[in-house]
Structure 1
Amino acid sequence: MSGNSRLNLPVRKRSYRFALTPLADAMFQLLIFFMLSSSLTPYSLLTLQTATQVSDEQAAPGEETTASDLPEEAAEPGDVALWTIEAGSVLVGGQSFGFDALSALAGALGTPSAPADVILVVRTTAQVQDVATVLEALQAANVASVQVSTGAI
């Protein structure tokens, strides 16, 4: 035999198949993303209303206000109140109230037939006991829902 003898093995045809596994992974990731993002409330659409301002002759800015200085009218039913918890006080409508005014503040929210919702912003100066005190006052006033957030507004 000559030196050109080669063994010819059968050559397999290459088949280019479309792999579905990466596509399925991407689809599940998109599904989870859209399911989670659709359940989030668009906070830019929430109507936020704090308690009405007390006139300047009743309280100076930065001065603590007592329960007797509270506004007469309550928030509209179905509105969302925004409260900021600081060390030993609650900031409502730009005014600082002591914890002795919490029951009157919480009682002014909503009505028994349409309880109000409250968003609490907890500042870094607030203690855990401050947050617990505010939550207890809101629970005693039958507030519909309370959302707690950290940070500044």
Structure 2
Amino acid sequence: MKAEDVPFLPTKVVVDTYEPAGVFDHLQEWGLGAGKKYPLPFGDYWIRGRDGRLVVVERKHNDLASQWPRRLAMQLTKCRDGGADEIVLLVEGILDHDEETGRLRIPRRGLRKVWYDQVWGTILGWQETRGLKVYQCAEGEVEVARAVRGIYRHYRR
């Protein structure tokens, strides 16, 4: 499975057999391996490595309100240090892919801006688009939105 083979982000996915360089070492540290479903403490997430290959992890949703900001930021930072340049946290609902424009159609419910520079790197600038802030970063143009139940969704356009 390649990055271009993922037109939308489903709520439940399994780990892809490709491991981005560096990230797999961290997954091993957490007791994870390729080709399985993994219970992780901070909700679902999907990692794209710098070479474009994917690691996708499935996790049943739980209430993260009390533990969200500090602990999850640490988890995301660890992923980035492992070589991932994109991290997506999955929530209920689907981001529909518009084939004509190539853009993702964003559900209206509960979307607000959020930003962790330790995850994405250097912020070069931003603009407001449809209520979302679009950040221009060294890694490329990024939309950042908050989703339901205190779980955040980060993804590239």
Pick the structure with more helix per residue: 1
TM-score normalized with structure 2 length: 0.28
TM-score by length of structure 1 reads 0.29
Higher relative contact order (CA 8 A, sep 6+): 2
The structure in which a higher percent of residues are strand is: 2
